[in-house]
Amino acid sequence: MENRANLKSGEFLVKETDAQRVFIPEEFSEEQKMIEETCYDFLDTEVFPNLDRIDNQEEGLMPGLLKKAGELGLLGVAVPEEYSGFGQTFVTQMLACEAFGAGYSFAVAYSAHTGIGTLPIMYYGNEEQRKKYVTKLATGEYLGSYCLTEPGAGSDANSGTTNAVLSEDGKYYILNGQKMWITNAGFSDILTVFAKIDNDRVLSAFIVERHYPGITFNPEEKKMGIKGSSTRQIFFNDCKVPVENLIGKRGEGFRIALSILHMGRIKLGANVLGAAKKAIGESVAYANERKQFGQLISNFGAIKHKLAEQVIRTFTTESAVYRVSNDVDTAINDCTKAGMDYGRATIEGISHYAVEAAILKVYGSEALDYVVDESVQIFGGMGYSAETLVEKGYRDSRINRIFEGTNEINRMLVVDTAMKRAMKGDFDLFGEAKKVSGSVAGLKSQDSKKEEYFAEKKRYIKNFKKAILLAIDKASEKFQKQLVYEQEILFNISDMIMALYVSESTLLRVEKLSGMKDAGYLKIYKDILDVNIYDAAARIKKSGLDAVNSFAEGEDLNSLARAINIFTEIAGVNIKEARRRIADKLIDDNKYSF
């Protein structure tokens, strides 16, 4: 397996990455840290003191907060300077998303405006559209929303029935239809609306201004969580949209929608980090104050296990988030050097990493769900009270497994997209998988021997990849084109891939840290890595066995099961003590500072 600076999407399955070539959060520049601090200061001064008012959807409060963020330049982090933005790298954009992810409902409004509300026009709009709309969206003069979902078109977005017909004078598209679950609908000035022109098979995209005649809004939806986020249905009844407000080309809307979903998935991976770190902060502060049986509950092993696992899942998510974010920056730079327009280059760079985007979305949202659930548990009865922030965080978290394509859709995309990229010739997935299959007959358990720490961990990661390649090869061989209908098996393989990618990302981060910090500093991060790989081996083993048990029989099954068992063999880890050391650092710091 070779090293290369920037792997193609999914190529991590067959190639190694040099730790020195990945970006890790410990390398943030002073400018990036200043932007992060500005975001947190904004939350502390403007958002956290007003959470109840936000949840009650006090008239004008949320749009006012967004406009204040715009005055500080925080709505334009992803927008180039020529369109009144901040012109920051993708890594920096992700850091801002992470920071604001701690902001409960405000995080949703912010993400919707700065992401799906602004960037379709930035990435796919023409120069005139960018100057007219993006410049004002970047400063907060205009606020944006994104109108894709319909009552009959959710995950299958292209099945939408909203229709656009050219007017007799050729100056307008006449828009008719209904959109639902539209974030920021209560106050957005600019709507990116998807509709089919005439009887087109695929969608087109339009810029619609709120004041255009023929638009009506339903009352606010009542939701389980993110209560401060405006969510409404929107109806278009003979709404006249100027022809110059078509974004991109006719029929390009479906591609735009998919590309923006890739962007939303990656950014959600960053968003959940801020929410997780906020919840961990609440958890440890409470555990360090609450006494039971004559002592602080942070002294109890059961609580330490929960705190440590919260840290591990957050740290590993973070490692994967910034690994791929830097890959996206490299891809964007490559596209711009090749002469591509900045907007198209950016979305091309993001869309290129569709496999990793789906991984971050699923793993990150499920990691946050674990963190907030255990936060409520650590608080006990108080955690169920609406007086606590952990109750709010618990309810707000649940939507993330539905946002930006459900986790079920994204699990299938992880495998399906990797295989399609390989079929296009991006990397030799199937050739490498055949090699692994061919080696199964004579496979033997590796004798335990003393290895250098990182060499041992890398061997485990290589073997995890072999387990995945074996499952892909045998499932593809068995089902061929029908594999797409075997969703349970695709889920098994997807879970294996996600565990691998996150573990490898964590390994690369800790290995790179080893060249930057002393052994004492590094010890706690080796504990995180040890527990993560120990748990990943068990998850990959179970998912692999679940997969092959679903289609293989007899001696073939015995051979495959034996191979998966061997590929997931690792040395034992005292996970109790490792977790206690992780928890003790959190408890001593009284905040997340990993």
Residues designated as active site:
404
d(CA 525, CA 216): 54
The dihedral region occupied by 40, where left means phi > 0, alpha psi between -120 and 50, and beta the remainder, is: alpha
User: SS3 helix, strand, coil % of the chain, rounded to 5?
Assistant: 65, 10, 25
Residues 543, 547: Cα–Cα separation, whole Å: 6
Classified as helix, coil or strand, 208 is strand
DSSP string, 69-131: HHHTTTT-TTS-GGGTS----HHHHHHHHHHHGGGTHHHHHHHHHHTTTTHHHHHHS-HHHII
Q: Is 476 exposed, middle or buried (0-12, 13-18, 19+ CB in 10 A)?
A: middle
Task: Check if the beta carbon of residue 164 is closer than 8 Å to that of residue 195.
Answer: yes
B/e letters for 407-428, b = 16+ CB within 10 Å, e = fewer, are: bbbbbbbbbbbbbebbeeebbe
Residue 154 structure tokens:
């959710």
Of 78, 71, 84, 73, nearest to 133 by C-alpha is 84
Reference 354, options 330, 333, 336, 327; nearest CA is 327
Contact 244, 415 (CB under 8 A): no
Residue type, 561: A
Task: Compute the radius of gyration of the chain from its Cα atoms.
Answer: 24
580 neighbors 301 (Cβ within 8 angstroms): yes
245, 192 in Cβ contact below 8 A?
no
Contacts of 423 (CB under 8 A, 6+ apart): 430
Count other Cβ atoms within 10 Å, centred on residue 315. 25
Between CA 117 and CA 260 the distance in angstroms is 10
Spatial neighbors of 371 by CB under 8 A, at least 6 apart, are 275, 276, 279, 280, 310, 313, 314
Q: How far is CA 123 from CA 79, 126, 499, 577, in A?
A: 10, 9, 32, 49
As a whole number of angstroms, the distance between CA 135 and CA 264 comes to 21
The residues facing 193 across adjacent strands are 147, 206
Q: How many CA atoms lie within 13 A of 37 on its CB side?
A: 7
Between the CA atoms of 506, 507, 511 and 512, what dihedral angle is there, to the nearest 10 degrees?
-40
Torsion of Cα atoms, 183 then 76 then 331 then 509, to 10°: -90
End-to-end CA distance of the chain: 31
**In 3-state terms, what secondary structure has residue 482?**
helix
